[in-house]
Structure 1
Amino acid sequence: MDPADESASATRKAELACVVLAHDQPDQLHRLLAALDPLPVFLHVDARTPDPVAAAMTRDLPERVRLLPRVATAWATFGAVQAELAGYRAAVAETSATHVALLSGSDYPLLSTADLRAVLTPLIGRSITYVAPLPIPQWGMSGGLGRLRYYHWAWRRHVIRLPIPRRLPRGLSLAGGPTQKVLAREHADAVVRAVDRRPELVRFWRRAWAPDETFVATLLSTPSLVPGYADHHLHELAWLIDWRQANIKGPPWLTMEHLPFLQEGRTVPAGSLPKLFARKFHSTLSAELLDAVDALRQEPLRTTPA
C-alpha cells in the first residue's frame, strides 16, 4: 500500500461483508444472520442439505443476505473452496466492504457490528489470517505436504490416497492454516483474479486433501498472485475456538461452561486484537450461552494495560 492509499485509509471507516457457509441448523443460522445485522451476508447452503432443511434455512431472509449458487461441500473436498471463492467474488463485486470474513453456520460474533467495524478500521488494507508455510510440524510427518503430493478422495469421512506422488505446482509458496479468515478487500479480489488466471491450480487442488486449509492460504502466500499480502496482514486467528482438550479431531460444542473462556477472548491488552468470532455453537446445546453472548456484545470491550 503506497503512502497516498494509507492516508486515504486513515480517513475511512471499515465495512465488513460476511461469507457464511452452512449446511444445517436453520434456527442457529437465522440467529447468526440476525447477529450480523446490518452487515451484508453472502450465504451458501450445501447442495447436499435436504430440501426441507434448506428451505427452512433460506426462508424469510432479509434483503442484505444474498444466496450463492449451491455446490456440494462434503468434508475435506474442494466444494468448500468453491463456495468460499464464490463468496469473495460476490462480496467484492456487490459491496464496498473493506474486509470479507469467512464464517461457518456454527460461528457467532463476539462483538457488536459497530465494534467489529471499529476494530477493523485501523486495519483497512490488512488481512487477519493464521497462515504458515508448509511444512507445518503439527500436520503430521510430511507437515501437510502429503496432502498435496498425492491424489486424494474423501469417502464417508475417510481418506483415500493414491500412493503415487505427483509433481507439485511450481512458483508457489505452499502454505496452510485454519479456514477461518478475515481478508482485506484487496486480497480477496486478488485471490479471485488468481483463480481466473490460473485454472490449472483449481484442477490440481481438486484432488488435494482438505484443500480448504491450503488452497487460499497458498494463493495468499504467493507474492506473484496476491501482491502486498506478505506486508499487509496480521498473523492471528480472529476466532476463539476451544482446542484445550488433547487429541480431539474437532472443537466441542460451546455451552455455558465456556462463558469465562469467551469473556477472556473479549478482554485484551490495549492495542491488541480481540477475538471477533467464536465457534462452534448449536441451536439447542448453546442456546443459554448465546443469550449470554448477546448480552456481552452490548458491553464495551474490556482492555487491560499493554
Structure 2
Amino acid sequence: MAKIAYILLCHKDPEAIIQQAERLTAVGDYMVIHFDGRASDQDYAKIRAALDDNPNVCFPRRRIKCGWGEWSLVRATLAAMRTAADNFPRATHFYMLSGDCMAIKTAQYAHDYLDQNDFDFIESFDFFESDWIKTGMKEDRLIYRHVFNERKNKALFEWSHNLQKKLRLHRAVPSDIQVQIGSQWWCLRRRTVEAILQFVRERRDVVRFFRTTWIPDETFFQTLVRHLIPGDEIQCRTLTFLMFTDYGMPVNFYNDHYDLLLSQDFLFARKISPDAKDLKRRLGRLYAAEGVEFQISNEGRSLFQFLTQRGRNGRRFAPRFWETESSLGRERELTMVVCKKWHVAKRLIRQVNERTEVPAIAYLFHEEDTPLPDLGGIEASLWKRTRHRRALMRMLFEYYDSNRLIVCIDPSGLELMNDFASDRSVTQVLHLDCDFTDEYLIAHAQRSGLVGVQTPKQTLDRILPTIRNDILHETDRIRDAGFDPFVTLHEADTAEDKVAKLARVFGITAEQAKDISQNPDLFSD
C-alpha cells in the first residue's frame, strides 16, 4: 500500500502548518517540513515544539534562506527530499506541497489512486518548443546567468541581464540534457527520488548550470525526471489542482468552492485563501475520513475559463458588484467643474474643499495618477473609470459618506457631462472661462506632444489659430448642450459677479466666496 512522504516548503502561519502536519500524518503518512530560513525563528520554534514528538514528522538539519525564482528553493527541496528518504524508508511516494495546499480527497482515495497508477506525476514540457510560459522571459532564463533576484534587486537583475546580452555572454545548455518545464508541485515514486539524489551527487556540471538559471524550481526536477525515467512511466500532470488568471496570478479558493474542489481529478488544491475558514475546516476533516465517494466531473478549469471570458465582455452569470445600480442616487448632488486650464480648476476645488469639506476630486477621468481610494479595482485605469463612470461616482459618494461631490472635467469630456446630467441625481456645471495667451497655447501644445521646443516660429504661427479654435469649439459645444443649471465664471467677471456665482454653485456663504474670488492667483498661470 502507498505511503506518502509530504515535502512541505513554507514560511508563515505556524498554526496552519502544525494542523496540516497533524492531519496528514494521523493516517500513517509522513512529512518533512522546511521552514524558510528568512522566516521568524519564533514561529519555527513553535512548530518544532508542537511536532518534535511526532515520529512521522522531521525537519532538515539546516533551514535555507529562500527567495522566489532562486536556486535556493531547489536547494531547500533537495534537502527535504534527502531527509525524507533517510528518515522514512517505508515511504513509497514523495509529494511536494506548500503551506497554501490542502487535500481535496481522503487518504484512502489517495493511497488507492497511487497504488493503481504506478507513475511519476510531474509536468514536463519541452522548454523551447512548448507554450507553457505565457508571458515574460523564456530562453533568457537559461542561456544567461542570473545571480540577482529580480524581485529584491530588480535594477541589478536587469543590468546584469542586459550586460550579458550586449556582450553576447550566453551559454549552452548541457549537451545531454533536454530542458523541460512545468509546475513545481509534483508527486514522485521512491526510486525516482533516489535516482535524482544520486544524479545530483554525480553530475555537478548540471547542478552548476541550473544554479544560475532563473526560476529553476519550474525546470530542474522536471528535466531530471524526464532524463532519468522512461517516458511511459511519467504522467505529464500534477496531482495538485491549481489555476492561473490571464495575468499569471494563482486563483484563490474560498468557502463556496468546496463541492467544486472535491469533484476535480486531483488529490490536493492550491491556493486556499487564508480567509476561507469554513473551507479549511471542512477540508481538514476530509483527509482522515473513510468510505467517501467522489463524483469526478473535472470541470473546474473549463468553468473558470468560461466565466472569465464572459466577464471580459460583460456577459457573466451575474453583474459585478459595481454594476448592480445604474443611478448615482436621487438625493445626491454632483458639481462638475469644467476648465481647460487644469491647474486653475484644481486650485479652485482645493479652496472650496478647505472651506466646506465637500469631497473634491480633480480630473479623475483624464489623469491616470489622480489620487483615489481603493474601490475594488474599478479605479485602476482611466479606461475602467470611464466605462463604469456612474458606478465609480456612486462608490465615491459612499466612500466619502457624502451626498455632495465635486469633480473636475476637461471640456473635451462632453460625453461624461451628458451622461451625468441625464441621471436622476442633482447635477450642475461650473464652466471656468479662462483667457489663453499665445505663450500658454504654445506650452499646451508642447505638453501634449503636438510641437517641440525646436518647432520653428513659422509653424507655431500657423497652428496657433487651430489650437485656439479647438478650445473655442469645445466651449461652444458645452454651452449648446443645454445643461441646467450651467454657470460660467469668466476670468474678467467683476468681483461681485464672482462672489455671487461661487456662492450659488457651491452653497457657500458670500464671505467664503469672497475669500476665494479675491485670491489673486486663482486664474494665474
Quickly name the TM-score band, shorter chain normalised: 0.7 to 0.9
Give the direction of change, closer, same or farther, for the CA distance of 1:145–1:70 in structure 2 (3 Å limit): same
CA shift at 1:258, angstroms?
A: 2.3
How does 1:1-306 map onto structure 2 within 5 Å? Answer: 13-37=1-25, 38-61=28-51, 62-68=54-60, 69-94=62-87, 95-124=89-118, 126-135=119-128, 136-140=130-134, 144-152=138-146, 153-157=148-152, 158=154, 159-160=157-158, 161=161, 162-163=164-165, 164-222=169-227, 226-228=228-230, 230-243=231-244, 245-247=245-247, 249-265=248-264, 274-282=265-273, 284-297=274-287, 298=289, 300-303=292-295
Distance in structure 1 (CA, Å) of the matches to 2:296 and 2:279: 24
Q: Report if the CA contact (8 A) 1:24-1:54 is conserved.
A: no
CA shift at 1:173, angstroms?
A: 1.4
CA shift at 1:49, angstroms?
A: 0.5
Instruction: Point out the structure with the larger strand share.
Output: 1
Distance in structure 1 (CA, Å) of the matches to 2:126 and 2:280: 35
Give 3-state SS (helix, strand or coil) of 1:42's partner.
Answer: strand
Matched residues, number: 277
Structure 1 residue identity aligned to 2:6 = C
Q: Report if the CA contact (8 A) 2:100-2:271 is conserved.
A: yes
Residue 443 of structure 2 corresponds to which residue in structure 1?
none
Distance in structure 1 (CA, Å) of the matches to 2:90 and 2:110: 16
Distance in structure 2 (CA, Å) of the matches to 1:84 and 1:113: 23
* Of 136-145 and 289-298, the range deviating more from structure 2: 136-145
Q: Report if the CA contact (8 A) 1:25-1:57 is conserved.
A: no
Residue 8 of structure 1 corresponds to which residue in structure 2?
none
Residue 367 of structure 2 corresponds to which residue in structure 1?
none
Q: Report if the CA contact (8 A) 1:32-1:107 is conserved.
A: no
* Normalised TM-score (structure 1): 0.83
Residue 355 of structure 2 corresponds to which residue in structure 1?
none
Q: Report if the CA contact (8 A) 1:47-1:70 is conserved.
A: yes
Structure 2 residue identity aligned to 1:156 = R
Q: Give the superposed CA RMSD.
A: 2.1
CA offsets 1:4-47 (integer angstroms, 9 cap, x no match): xxxxxxxxx11111111111111221121122123111110111
Q: Report if the CA contact (8 A) 1:28-1:106 is conserved.
A: no
CA shift at 1:192, angstroms?
A: 0.8
Give 3-state SS (helix, strand or coil) of 1:87's partner.
Answer: helix
Give 3-state SS (helix, strand or coil) of 1:92's partner.
Answer: helix
* Normalised TM-score (structure 2): 0.50
Distance in structure 1 (CA, Å) of the matches to 2:136 and 2:99: 31
Distance in structure 1 (CA, Å) of the matches to 2:134 and 2:295: 37
Distance in structure 1 (CA, Å) of the matches to 2:83 and 2:70: 22
Structure 2 residue identity aligned to 1:257 = D
Return the index of the structure with the highest Cα Rg.
2
Instruction: Point out the structure with the larger helix share.
Output: 2
Structure 2 residue identity aligned to 1:26 = P
Q: Report if the CA contact (8 A) 1:100-1:182 is conserved.
A: yes
Structure 2 residue identity aligned to 1:242 = M
CA shift at 1:194, angstroms?
A: 0.6
Gapped regions of structure 2 (runs ≥ 5): 298-525
Gapped regions of structure 1 (runs ≥ 5): 1-12, 266-273
CA shift at 1:123, angstroms?
A: 2.3
Give the direction of change, closer, same or farther, for the CA distance of 1:65–1:260 in structure 2 (3 Å limit): same
Q: Report the identity percentage.
A: 23
Q: Which one has more relative contact order, counting CA pairs under 8 Å at least 6 apart?
A: 1
CA shift at 1:142, angstroms?
A: 9.0
Runs of 4+ more than 6 Å apart: none
Distance in structure 2 (CA, Å) of the matches to 1:93 and 1:63: 14
Give the direction of change, closer, same or farther, for the CA distance of 1:138–1:123 in structure 2 (3 Å limit): closer
